Amino acid sequence: MKRFSICLLLLLSATVSMAQSHGSDITSPFRLWLLNNEARVFSSLATDEILTGKVVSPFSLLPPTRLQTGKAEEKLWETHRKIYVLLDETQNIYSVARKYGNGRFAVITKQARPETWSLMPLLAATPEIIRTVSPLFRKTFHNTLLKSMNLDPERDIDLSARLNKALKKLSDEEFRLMNDYFGTFAALFPSDPSIRVLKSFIETGSRKPFGTGLKELLRPSVEPSAPTKVATAQAAEPDDPLAELEKLAQFDAGLTDSINPDPDSKADEKQPATLEPPPPGTEDLFNIWD
Amino acid sequence: MKRLRKPGILILLLIMATCAGAAEIKYAYKKGSTYSYRYTQSTSSKSKAFTVSTAESSPPVSYDFSVKSIDFQDGAFILDVGDKAATYRRYIRENGEIKGAPAEAGQGIPFFLTFPEGDWKVAEKRQVRKSLSLGNKDVMAIWSLLLKSVDNEKGLAEILFTANLSLPEDQLRQKGFSLKGRVVFNMLEGVIHQADWQTTYKFNFSNKAFAITRNLWVFEKQSSHTLAMTGIQE
C-alpha cells in the first residue's frame, strides 16, 4: 500500500511539473509545427529533384551536369531561422518574466542575507570586520545568484526593451510572414492556447513594460551597508527579514493584496503594476500568480 | 479507266510526299572523331509564402565538353564524354539508348530519350515510356517526340520533344513538372547539331487540420538549356 502511495505521489508530482512546464512553454507547439512542415517540404523537394534530374538531360551524350544553381527557398529557410532565434529569445524573456517578474523572488533573496548569517559568529568577537566584509559578501552572493539563474542586469533590467531588440532583427516583411504563420497555426489548431499567448505577448510586451519586479532582483535598492545595521540592530523594521517573510507568507496565502500592505510605505508605491492581480474574468498575459 | 486515273495520281503523289517527309534519325559517330559541344544552362526559382515572395536567378553558365568516338561494337558506339577534368565512358546505341556507363555505376543513369528505329514520318508522334523507381515507389516517365520537319538539302531534321513525369503528390502536396524542347539533328553526320529545352517545376504545399486547409508555400523553378555543336575533329 505504501509503495502504491509513493508511486501515486510521484506520478502526481510528475504530472503537475509537466503541466507547469507546458504552461510556461508558449513557443514549442508553433515551432514544432513549422519545423515539421519544413521537414516535409525538404523531403518532397529532395525527392522531386532526384526524379526530375533523371529526365532533365534528354540526350545520352550529355555528361553528368556539374552546374550548381541558386534556390529561392533558401531565403525562406533563412527567414525561418531568424524566426526560430526570435522564438528562443521570446521564450526566454517570457520565462524570466513569469518566474521573477512579480518581485517575490527579489523579496526572498533580500531576506536571505548570507552576509548576515555567515558573519554572525564574528559579531561578538570582531564586529569591525563585519563592517568591511559584509558588503563584499552581499555583492558576491548577489552576483553568483544572478549568474546561476542566467540573468544579466544589463540585458534583463528592461524586458520590454530586450523583446523589442529581438524583434528588430526581423524586417517588416519577415515580421509580417511570422504573423501570417501565427494566423495559420491559430486557424488550424484553434484549441491550442499557446499561440494566442505568444502572439499577444509579442504584441503587448513590445509596447508596454512588463516584469518590472525583476528590477529589484537585478539591482536591489538595499544599501550595501544595511547588513551591518541589521547586525547591530536586529529589529530594524523595514529590513527585518522575519517581518518581510511574514508579509510574504500572508501575501501567498491571499490574506493581503500586496507584498507591502502598509499604505504609508513608499516602497509600496514603487511596486510594479504587474503585482496587481487582473480583474476577474479577464485573461492577463502577465498573470504569474497561478 | 479515266475515272481510276485521277485517284491513282493522287495516291501516287501522296506516297511521294510521304516518302519525302520521312527520315531515319540515328546516331552515326565516326570512329576516331571528336565532337565538341557547348552546353549552356540558366535557372530561376521563386518561392512564395502568403504575401512574401523570394526570387533567385542565375545567369547563363556554359560548359564545353567533347564526345570522342572510340569504336562501334555489338551495336553500340563506345564514346568518351566529358572534358579535361572528368571523362565518362558510355556505350550508346544508334537510337540514343544507353547500353552501359561503367564510370557511372551506382549513380543512377538518367532516362534519356531515344529516337524511333526505321523511317519516321513528318508530324508523326512517338513515345518512350519508362518506370523510374525511387525507394519503394515507381514513377512513370514518358518522352514524347514529334518529327516536325526534314530538310533534305541541308540534311537537318527538326524534332520536338516533351517529358511527362508524374511526381508523387497528395491532397496537401500538389506538383507539376514539364519539359519542352526541340532538337536539330544532322542526318548527314549522324549527330545532334543543336538542341534547346526548358523545364518548369511547381510545388504547392498546403496544411490541413480537421476541415481547414491553408496554403502555405509555393515553389517554382525554371531552367533553360542549350546544347550547340561547336566543331568536329576527324
Q: Who's near A226: CB < 8 A, 6+ residues apart? A: A239
B195 with A75: Cβ contact below 8 A: no
Interface contacts (A, B; CB < 8 Å): 160
| Residue A2 pLDDT class (50, 70, 90 cuts) | low
What region, left, alpha or beta, does residue A109 occupy, with left being phi > 0 and alpha being psi -120 to 50 degrees? Answer: alpha
Name the strand (E) or helix (H) holding A18. Answer: helix A2-24
Give contacts of B203 with chain A, Cβ < 8 Å.
41, 44-45, 48
- Looking at residue B34, its pLDDT comes to 95
| Mutation site for A-interface testing, chosen from B29, B34, B39, B87 by largest number of A Cβ within 10 Å | B39
pLDDT at A174 over 90: yes
> pLDDT per residue over B170-196, tens digit each?
989 999 999 999 999 999 999 999 999
B112 touches chain A (CB under 8 A): yes
Quick one: closest CA in A to B169, which residue?
A: A44
- Looking at residue B6, its pLDDT comes to 57
Q: What percent of chain A has pLDDT over 90?
A: 26
Query: Whole-angstrom distance between the N-terminal and C-terminal Cα of chain B?
Result: 58
CA distance B92 to chain A (A): 7
B40 touches chain A (CB under 8 A): no
Strand partners, B63: B39
pLDDT at A223 over 90: no
Of the candidate ranges A118-122, A235-239, B113-117, B161-165, the one whose mean pLDDT is the lowest: A235-239
| Residue A285 pLDDT class (50, 70, 90 cuts) | very low
Q: Which residues of A touch chain B, with CB atoms under 8 Å apart?
A: 37, 40-41, 44-45, 47-48, 50-67, 69-76, 79, 173-174, 176-177, 180, 184, 187-189
| Residue A246 pLDDT class (50, 70, 90 cuts) | very low
Distance, CA of B91 to CA of B67 (rounded, Å): 12
Give contacts of B61 with chain A, Cβ < 8 Å.
67
Distance from the Cα of residue A56 to its chain's centroid: 51
pLDDT at A248 over 80: no
> pLDDT per residue over B130-176, tens digit each?
998 887 888 899 999 999 999 999 999 999 999 999 899 998 999 99
Q: Who's near A138: CB < 8 A, 6+ residues apart? A: A113, A114, A115, A224, A227
| Region A81-87 average pLDDT | 96
- Looking at residue A67, its pLDDT comes to 58
| Region A135-155 average pLDDT | 84
What is the number of alpha carbons within 13 Å of residue B92 lying toward its C-beta?
A: 29
A153 CB burial (10 A radius; 0-12, 13-18, 19+): middle
| Residue A228 pLDDT class (50, 70, 90 cuts) | very low
Distance, CA of A180 to CA of A196 (rounded, Å): 13
B109 or A2: which leads in pLDDT:
B109
Query: Whole-angstrom distance between the N-terminal and C-terminal Cα of chain A?
Result: 33
Mean pLDDT score of chain A:
73
Strands of B191-209's sheet in order across? B98-100, B87-93, B76-82, B52-73, B34-49, B212-233, B191-209, B173-186, B156-165, B137-151, B125-134
Of the candidate ranges A37-41, A130-134, B4-8, B152-156, the one whose mean pLDDT is the lowest: B4-8
Q: What percent of chain B has pLDDT over 70?
A: 91
Q: Is the ipTM of this complex over 0.90?
A: no
> pLDDT per residue over A187-216, tens digit each?
999 999 999 999 988 988 877 777 777 777
CA distance A73 to chain B (A): 6
φ, ψ of residue B226 in degrees (nearest 5): -135, 135
CA distance B2 to chain A (A): 53
- Looking at residue A279, its pLDDT comes to 52
- Looking at residue A108, its pLDDT comes to 80
- Looking at residue B115, its pLDDT comes to 93
Which of A54, A67, A189 faces B141 most closely, judged by CB atoms?
Answer: A54
- Looking at residue A152, its pLDDT comes to 84
Cell matching residue A15: 504530472
CB B110 within 8 A of CB B104: no
pLDDT at A14 over 90: no
B49 with A76: Cβ contact below 8 A: yes
Helix or strand or coil: residue B140? Answer: strand
In sequence order, what DSSP letters do the residues of A154-216 get, joined into one string? HHHS-HHHHHHHHHTTS-HHHHHHHHHHHHHHHHH-TT--HHHHHHHHHHHHTTS---TTHHH
CB A73 within 8 A of CB A246: no
B27 CB burial (10 A radius; 0-12, 13-18, 19+): buried
- Looking at residue A6, its pLDDT comes to 52
Give contacts of B228 with chain A, Cβ < 8 Å.
none
Distance, CA of B85 to CA of B68 (rounded, Å): 15
A224 or B52: which leads in pLDDT:
B52
